[in-house]
Amino acid sequence: MAETMLIAKGICKYFPGVKALTGVDFELKAGEIHCLMGENGAGKSTLIKVLTGVETLDGGEIFLEKRHIQPRSPQHAQQLGISTVYQEVNLCPNLSVAENIFIGREPRKIGRIDWKEINRRATALLIKMNLDIDVTQPLERYSVAIQQMVAIARALDISAKVLILDEPTSSLDAKEVEHLFSVIRKLKEHGMGILFVTHFIEQVYAVSDRITILRNGSLVGVYKTAELPRVQLIAKMLGRTFEEFNAGIKTKTQIAEVNEQECVFLQVRGLGSRGAIAPFDLTVQKGEILGLVGLLGSGRTETARMIFGLDKSDSGEIRIEGKRLKILSPANAIKQGLAFCPENRKTEGIIDNLSVRENIILALQAKLGWRKYIARKRQEEIADKYIALLSIKTSGKEQLVKNLSGGNQQKVILARWLITQPKLLILDEPTRGIDVGTKAEIQKLILQLAEEGMSVIFISSELDESIRCCDRLAVLRDRVKIAELAGEEIEEKVVMQTIAGV
């Protein structure tokens, strides 16, 4: 048996009105990949924050290699040997790759920063991870996947004994994930303890040795991955039986091919912008869920942004319910009954220092304008209604939205748009970084909304999700819309082949 690297005993953490963790035990061995699983709000992020010194613990003890430690800050945790790579890349996009890796601990020569040495070591480090890129370029030039790798390289170079990966794969495509896994398997062989948090069940079974499951801030159990069937895993995470969970998602209804003009809500012709997306045509009918599929960077988000008036188009036209109009800003789009849940929840979605109530009413208030202020009482009614309707887990409507877990923040943004009663809802990766239970809830909600007559444009990196939810799929590749699939064609193999262009 490998020796124990990290032990956490009886960890407790309280937030105002919330018990985030109560008496959680956790153990990580050297040379092991250990998965931490649980729904949103189960306490995964909190546990990681406690281990890495972002939050101080309210109870319990942490031992690293049998020594009692009390991480005071992420820097301190790093010195102790616990490095973390977060879900959202925490680097400086305007600095070079090499600078990002060595920031704060630059090698020096006669008191001055030795740039040659920095670049040489950065290149060597990345080549070890099979990544051959120009390290002098600013980080923002590279894809999120590469940025993630750089973050890991940085964590590794700081003499890590324990590496914590907090949902590193949520924005990577399959090939990049495989690449990442090969890297962490290598690290495991070198005796490092790796704590891996993800929502992708496939990935759990692909790499991990053991699984620790949390639910509502308490420990459910620790299991060997090989001995825990998937159904069991999901059931344990949700605290219900798998049958119950599976019955939640209804099978897709095939809507009849109706092409009558009055059924079309949105019609786009030749809309495009040089450098962002080639001119494309698109129609969305009332009550239809149109999926945009394609690889990362294929132009899905760009398409949505342009329709919503976030980016300028240099050609083409948009018709809504037959009327030709120009959408020059999100405010314009909202007036026409459009709504857009952006992909980056933190930077484009929530206003983190405002309360749940204020976040929920924001879009409706923007639509009404500043003069027609929604009365406080009405705001509270709306907030209460939607907190209940979407079962948003919060200690109250006045809680700051930054204190909510990722999935609940996503629900707040959904609520923000639903109260504007949109006719077309654009969802960009609405289920990214969200646990299975909430994912199913959101999918169910989308299907229900479509049934009530709302049109939906649905963007997801998870193919099975798109296949399950959408009536029609528009396929994009390299910023060009290449095909539309409907009916029988919406099937994994066909879609994959279309994306791949076989």
Partner 1 sequence: MEIWIKLWRIVTNSRLFWPLAALAVVLLFNFFYTKDFFVVEIKDGHFYGVLIDIVNRAAPLMLLAIGMTLVVATKGIDISVGSVIAISGAVAASLIGGNLEYVDGTQKLVTLVPMPVAIVAALAVTTLLGMWNGLLVARVGIQPIVATLILLVAGRGIAQLITQGQIITIYYTPFKFIGAGYLAGVPFTLFIVLLVFAVILYLLNKTALGLFIEAIGINSVASRFSGIHVSKYIFLAYAFSGFCAGVAGLIICSNVSSADGNNAGLFMELDAILAVALGGNSLDGGKFSLLGSVIGALVIQSITTSIYATGVPPEITLVVKAIVVICICLMQSTSFRTIIFARWGQKRGSVSESTTVKL
CA–CA separation, 502 vs 494, rounded Å? 10
Q: Judged by CB under 8 A, which of 354, 463, 480, 483 binds partner 1?
A: 354
CA–CA separation, 115 vs 152, rounded Å? 21
Nearest distance, CB of residue 320 and partner 1, angstroms: 16
Phi, psi of 200 (to 5 degrees): -90, 110
Please report which helix (H) or strand (E) contains residue 408, including its range: helix 406-418
Q: Judged by CB under 8 A, which of 27, 31, 58, 380 binds partner 1?
A: 58
By rule CB under 8 A, what count of residues binds partner 1? 33
Nearest distance, CB of residue 358 and partner 1, angstroms: 6
Q: Binding to partner 1 by residue 140, rule CB under 8 A?
A: no
Nearer to partner 1, 83 or 409 (CB): 409
Q: Judged by CB under 8 A, which of 183, 184, 334, 434 binds partner 1?
A: 334
Nearest distance, CB of residue 342 and partner 1, angstroms: 6
Q: Judged by CB under 8 A, which of 36, 172, 233, 333 binds partner 1?
A: 333
Nearer to partner 1, 277 or 412 (CB): 412
Q: Judged by CB under 8 A, which of 5, 290, 350, 383 binds partner 1?
A: 350
Q: Binding to partner 1 by residue 144, rule CB under 8 A?
A: no
Angle, to 10 degrees, between the axis of helix 230-238 and the axis of helix 436-451? 80
Nearer to partner 1, 230 or 346 (CB): 346
Q: Judged by CB under 8 A, which of 56, 73, 391, 395 binds partner 1?
A: 56
Cα distance from N-terminal residue to C-terminal residue, the chain = 48
Environment class of residue 254 by beta-carbon count within 10 Å: exposed (0-12), middle (13-18) or buried (19+)?
exposed
3-class SS string, 424-470? EEEEECCCCCCCHHHHHHHHHHHHHHHHCCCEEEEECCCHHHHHHHC
Q: Binding to partner 1 by residue 365, rule CB under 8 A?
A: yes
Angle, to 10 degrees, between the axis of helix 376-389 and the axis of helix 406-418? 120
CA–CA separation, 254 vs 405, rounded Å? 35
Nearer to partner 1, 109 or 346 (CB): 346
Nearer to partner 1, 134 or 140 (CB): 140
Q: Judged by CB under 8 A, which of 373, 378, 421, 497 binds partner 1?
A: 373
Q: Binding to partner 1 by residue 374, rule CB under 8 A?
A: yes
Name the amino acid, one letter, at 304: A
Q: Binding to partner 1 by residue 416, rule CB under 8 A?
A: yes
- Token pair in block for residue 226: 């090989």
Nearer to partner 1, 252 or 367 (CB): 367
Q: Judged by CB under 8 A, which of 369, 452, 493, 500 binds partner 1?
A: 369
CA–CA separation, 83 vs 160, rounded Å? 6
Piece of the chain touching partner 1 by CB under 8 A; list 21-29, 124-132, 284-292, 328-336: 328-336
CA–CA separation, 405 vs 384, rounded Å? 18
Nearest distance, CB of residue 338 and partner 1, angstroms: 10
Q: Binding to partner 1 by residue 329, rule CB under 8 A?
A: yes
CA–CA separation, 177 vs 182, rounded Å? 9
**Token pair 């895993």 is at which residue?**
233
Name the amino acid, one letter, at 353: N
Q: Binding to partner 1 by residue 351, rule CB under 8 A?
A: yes
Nearest distance, CB of residue 355 and partner 1, angstroms: 10
- Residue of 115, 124, 129 lying closest to 85 (CA atoms): 129
Which residues on neighbouring strands pair with residue 9, listed in sequence order? 61
CA–CA separation, 295 vs 310, rounded Å? 22
Q: Quickly count: other Cβ atoms within 10 Å of residue 493's Cβ.
A: 7
Q: Binding to partner 1 by residue 266, rule CB under 8 A?
A: no
CB 463 within 8 A of CB 173: no
Q: Is 12 helix (H, G, I), strand (E, B) or coil?
A: strand
Nearest distance, CB of residue 119 and partner 1, angstroms: 30
Q: Judged by CB under 8 A, which of 26, 102, 142, 340 binds partner 1?
A: 340
Q: Judged by CB under 8 A, which of 257, 326, 370, 500 binds partner 1?
A: 370
Nearest distance, CB of residue 361 and partner 1, angstroms: 8
Q: Judged by CB under 8 A, which of 92, 124, 325, 331 binds partner 1?
A: 331
- Residue of 86, 106, 201 lying closest to 150 (CA atoms): 86
Q: Binding to partner 1 by residue 22, rule CB under 8 A?
A: no
Nearer to partner 1, 120 or 367 (CB): 367
- Token pair in block for residue 13: 């953490």
Residues lying near partner 1 in the complex (CB under 8 A): 14, 56, 58, 310, 329-331, 333-334, 340, 342, 347-354, 358, 362-363, 365-374, 416
